[in-house]
Structure 1
Amino acid sequence: MCGRKFSDESLSWSMYREQLKLFTAPPASNFAPNYNIAPTHMVPVCFMEDGEKVLRPLRWGLLPSWAKDVKIGYSMINAKAETVEEKNSFAPLLKAHRCVIPVSGFFEWKRKGKSKQPFAIRRQNGEPILLAGLWTQNRMLGIDSYTVLTTQPNDLMAEIHNRMPVILEREDVDRWLDAAWDEAQGLAIRVQSDFLRTYTVSSDVGNVRNNSPDLIEPVL
């Protein structure tokens, strides 16, 4: 699964514009870094609106249009790419509610006996990671929210966890957002191991109240 992410100071408006080919700046074009993005946090998400790509903060943890309680979102932070067409909460969103979540990287935990070691995962070339997701509007709650698609791990990630997020190449963003689902679904696959690098980080990341640059620094 993907349960924590991070966005460092490199994710400025100019970086969002370059990675996502955006032309219109959002109302707040400089988003503050978040070194410990957890479910319920608001983060910048790119999606199509009236035929144009937009970037707006959405809440992590999908709240389907029928949901009356925000707690449902905790069980919908991820959606399995292999079964997304079979789930009533996700299938209606595949046609026109796909999104991209740009982050600097994400965290995952590897079990070691009775404890777990957290790892940070970044792109090998240092560029942002573009996560594939689905988003929706819940008018009853007045909240726009999203979920991250996950898939089977590549060899690198398999050493840490049995799932990983679906990661897009920059040149595939437009196809993921705006192509017919029959064409876009082929992008919901795992990236090659050499696309990513991993390193151990402090266990302090396990506490959502912690949020500082130290959390994404490597530790021995």
Structure 2
Amino acid sequence: MCGRFAQYRSWDDYFDALGIEDDQLIYDPEPITRYNVALGTRVLLLNQRDDHLHLDPVFWGYGPDWWRKQPLINARSETAATGRMFKPLWQHGRAVVPADGWFEWQKVGSRKQPWFIYHQQREPLFFAAIGKAPFDKEQGQEGFVIVTAASNKGMVDIHDRRPLVLRADAVAEWLSQETSPERAHQIADEAVLPESAFRWHLVTKKVGNIHNQGQELVEET
């Protein structure tokens, strides 16, 4: 998965798609209008703490003190639950990124062509994520990563990895602090949208510049 996605609907739209109500959540009908979300920026992250759901702006990237490279932005679903880097996050820092689609770049000759990938019915997407909880505390570069899965046969012509997109009815259990790491692994295997749930089209190369925003970035060219 490339390090770019779109998060442009309102908070209310995402909450409605999940069918959730929580008196601690802040509801807002105004669109977020982020059509070109880049790594290293703060992203609205849905998470649970103190038995309530919260939507917090969290740094997209994860690099603990001992990590001497650039912060990572993705974690493979196959190894995230057991590897040194991500096992603690899988156990105690599961979260969800509400989104509307993501971008991938396909190499065509000497150039790279961007694509926008989204739900067949244009429904909101919910990327599985893990990070350094609690998410309302300043953690520097210990933010969050998006969990990815193999594209199998559906999108491998564009990219061999994709975000792990949870079904809306699985989000609450994924976020629950009562869900065991083992059960979370089952959810990551069984409660995700298949490649057939998505469509994709070519988009403008302007999306390559993180300073560009606007609806035209997700429109077909």
Deviation of the 1:163 alpha carbon: 0.7
Q: What's the counterpart of residue 2 of structure 2?
A: 2
Q: What's the counterpart of residue 157 of structure 1?
A: 155
Q: What's the counterpart of residue 79 of structure 2?
A: 83
1:101 to 2:106 alignment:
no
Question: Which string of whole-angstrom CA distances, capped at 9 and with x for unpartnered residues, describes residues 32-66 of structure 1?
Answer: 311110001212111111121111111111243x3
Deviation of the 1:12 alpha carbon: 1.2
In structure 1, C-alpha distance between the alignment counterparts of 2:31 and 2:216, rounded to whole Å: 19
1:113 to 2:147 alignment:
no
Determine what percentage of the aligned residue pairs are the same residue: 31
Say whether the 8 Å CA contact 1:16–1:22 is kept in structure 2. no
After superposition, the Cα gap between the structure-2 partners of 1:113 and 1:68, relative to the gap in structure 1 and judged at 3 Å, is closer
Question: Where does the alignment leave 5 or more consecutive residues of structure 1 unmatched?
Answer: none
| TM-score after normalising by structure 2 | 0.87
In structure 2, C-alpha distance between the alignment counterparts of 1:122 and 1:212, rounded to whole Å: 17
One-letter amino acid of the counterpart of residue 43, structure 1: V
One-letter amino acid of the counterpart of residue 91, structure 2: K
Say whether the 8 Å CA contact 2:81–2:87 is kept in structure 1. yes
Number of aligned residue pairs: 213
Structure 1 runs of 4+ aligned residues shifted over 6 Å read: none
- Describe the SS at the equivalent of 1:62: coil
Which of the two has greater helix per residue? 1
In structure 2, C-alpha distance between the alignment counterparts of 1:140 and 1:117, rounded to whole Å: 36
After superposition, the Cα gap between the structure-2 partners of 1:12 and 1:186, relative to the gap in structure 1 and judged at 3 Å, is same
Deviation of the 1:117 alpha carbon: 1.0
Q: What's the counterpart of residue 181 of structure 1?
A: 181
Say whether the 8 Å CA contact 1:123–1:197 is kept in structure 2. yes
1:192 to 2:188 alignment:
no
| TM-score after normalising by structure 1 | 0.87
